[in-house]
Amino acid sequence: MSQLSTRHLLGIKDLTPEDINLILDTAANFKEVINRPIKKVPSLRDITIANVFFENSTRTRLSFELAEKRLSADVINFSSSNSSVKKGETLVDTVNNILSMKVDMVVMRHSSPGAPHFLSKNVKANIVNAGDGTHEHPTQALLDSFSIREKLGDLAGKKVAIIGDILHSRVALSNIFCLQKMGAEVMVCGPITLLPKHIESLGVKVELDVKKALQWCDVANVLRIQLERQQIKYFPSLREYSLYYGVNKKMLDELDKEIVIMHPGPINRGVELSSDVADSEHSIILEQVQNGVAVRMAVLYLLAGAKN
Amino acid sequence: MQKRLVLDQQQIGIILRRFCHQLIENHDNFENTVLLGLQPRGSILLDQLAPVLEEISGIKVPFGYLDATFHRDDFRRRDFPLKANETKIDFLVEGKKVILVDDVLYKGRSVRAAMDAMIAFGRPQKVELMVLVDRKLTRDYPIMPDYFGIRVNTLDSQYVLVEWANQGQEQDAVWITEKVKS
């Protein structure tokens, strides 16, 4: 098996476990590549990729751009703040205009859930979802799974707690799909107001007490409080959130085992994660960032390799 | 399916020992020499060769495995992309004499890709190519081996199959077979 079952990466939901394994195995090869003295391979030198970001992003856009450049692709960047979108152009028109300049792949972030799915049905290029609203963020889930696999050897049977703002988190949803497909057990933990209704129907455990969640898990993936997506108050104050749901060193010291701490970034230090945990030996946060480039290289390489 | 034995276990053993003596002749005390097996099958050959070389020369020559999948010129041109293998090189090739080791030399395209991949680890002083089987008159690139076990005349419709006992086969052997038509 050396080919993905899909020609777009729209969400983890559409991938098979074999697809995920292929991406993670290929990412391991690319991780070796990006640690060489010369960190570049020529695979995608005849490919042009457009990074189309309708929503702010620093690390994901940089990570994709670096992955594309390490694969020798030509890269163009587009962000909606300085574009014709402001002048009323539709999404399909904007992307088709970009594609008419002989672009082969589109990496898109959009605030509307399903935007990349819509695009994939209306344009010819391969589409990679770099986050669509509160729906999915597949490459983040893949890099999280890659990081866990690298640290713990295997995902099957591992217990992963996702802690924080589950309601607004596309990272949480993609992670749930990805981890379950790889045979891991998933728990979500957060204030009841930040847990989606019926989340247990996805087959995840639900826990309101963060200490119990930490005691249960092998890996804690701590999410950021997404204030920018919150239209109403879901908890009284950040200070109160931090007191009840912030993960700190004392909590980890009280556990009778070592657990791995992850965070998709950017961290609100002192809110969901204290600095001494973020910078501790439990944390693989910076490793996640490096793995992000390798995983995105694998995704782009495998999608480009599929014969259209 | 027609299958013709080209080399048996004993002959392969003799060739491996000959390779070692040729390398000693050309590389003296291997002071500045490294061996790179081309993944996946050249590495299996190198795994067979390395202990024999150490036994005969008394020297542990540094070696690694090089995967050239991401440097191939047929990406997006074949029905299925090839699955990459591990590259494992814990030294730089800068200024070194590199011996690339592969089992079969056919079109020369894999070796071209391998040389491209190798350069990511530095600029070697000299590169040599060692293959167990050199297929005559099939080359697409101007690439010739410096050391070869046997030179065979084959058709494009044929396939050279190298089997190793430590990979679950009955014995070390090289066969020429007809390609299976898909």
Q: What is the pLDDT of residue B96?
A: 96
Residue A137 annotated as lining a ligand binding site: yes
Residue B100 lies in a domain: yes
Which residue type is seen at B66? L
Which residues of chain B carry a pLDDT beneath 70?
1, 181-182
Q: What is the pLDDT of residue B80?
A: 77
Q: Is the pLDDT of residue A114 over 70?
A: yes
Per-residue pLDDT tens digits for A75-92: 999 887 666 666 778 888
Q: What is the pLDDT of residue A83?
A: 63
Q: What is the pLDDT of residue B123?
A: 94
Q: What is the pLDDT of residue A308?
A: 55
Of A251, A259, A263, A185, the closest CA to residue A224 belongs to: A263
Q: What is the pLDDT of residue B1?
A: 66
Is the minimum CB–CB distance between B76 and chain A shorter than 8 Å?
yes
Q: Is the pLDDT of residue A172 over 90?
A: yes
Residue B115 lies in a domain: yes
E-state strands within chain B: 3-7, 33-38, 63-66, 97-105, 126-136, 147-153, 158-163, 173-178
- Beta-bridge partner residues of B63: B35
Q: Using omega within 30 degrees of 0 as the cis cutoff, is the peptide bond preceding B81 cis?
A: no
Residue A45 annotated as lining a ligand binding site: no
> From the list B81, B86, B116, which residue is nearest A3 (CB)?
B81
Residue B126 lies in a domain: yes
Mutate to test the interface with B, among A4, A18, A29, A40 (most CBs of B within 10 A): A29
8 Å CB contact of B83 and A1: yes
* A26 phi, psi to nearest 5 deg: -65, -35
8 Å CB contact of A42 and B67: no
Could you tell me if the ipTM is greater than 0.90?
A: no
Three-class DSSP category at A137: coil
Answer yes or no: are the C-beta atoms of B18 and B10 closer than 8 Å.
no
Of A40, A67, A47, A56, the closest CA to residue A139 belongs to: A67
Query: What is the domain-level CATH number for residue B135?
Result: 3.40.50.2020
8 Å CB contact of A2 and B83: yes
Name the residue range of residue B47's domain.
Answer: 3-21+32-68+84-178
Q: What is the pLDDT of residue B118?
A: 95
Residue B133 lies in a domain: yes
Per-residue pLDDT tens digits for A129-148: 999 999 999 999 999 999 99
Per-residue pLDDT tens digits for A8-64: 999 999 999 999 999 999 999 999 999 988 899 999 999 999 999 998 888 899 999
Interfacial residues of A (vs B; Cβ cutoff 8 Å): 1-3, 22, 25-26, 28-30, 32-33, 36-43, 46, 71, 301-302, 304-307
Structural domains for chain A: 12-136+289-305 (3.40.50.1370), 138-288 (3.40.50.1370)
| Percentage of the residues of chain A whose pLDDT score is greater than 90 | 79
Residue B129 lies in a domain: yes
Answer yes or no: are the C-beta atoms of A251 and A272 closer than 8 Å.
no
Q: What is the pLDDT of residue B5?
A: 95
Number of domains in chain B: 1
Residue with tokens 């014969």: A307
Q: In angstroms, what separates the C-alpha of A36 from chain B's closest C-alpha? A: 7
* Stretch A80-108: mean pLDDT: 82
Q: How confident is the model at residue A281 (pLDDT cuts 50, 70, 90)?
A: very high
Q: What distance in Å separates the CA atoms of residue A42 and residue B70, rounded to the nearest whole number?
A: 7
pTM score: 0.91
* B82 phi, psi to nearest 5 deg: -75, 145
Q: What is the pLDDT of residue A230?
A: 67
Q: What distance in Å separates the CA atoms of residue A158 and residue A139, rounded to the nearest whole number?
A: 20
Q: Which residues of B touch A305 (CB under 8 A)?
A: 75-76, 81
Mean predicted lDDT score pLDDT of chain A = 92
8 Å CB contact of B117 and A41: yes
Q: What is the pLDDT of residue B76?
A: 83
Residue A70 annotated as lining a ligand binding site: no
Residue B44 lies in a domain: yes
Per-residue pLDDT tens digits for B97-131: 999 999 999 999 999 999 999 999 999 999 999 99
Q: Is the pLDDT of residue A228 over 90?
A: no
Is the minimum CB–CB distance between B30 and chain A shorter than 8 Å?
no
Longest Cα–Cα distance in chain B:
49
Q: Is the pLDDT of residue A223 over 60?
A: yes
Distances in Å between the Cα of B16 and the Cα atoms of A64, B25, B50, B136 are: 46, 14, 9, 20
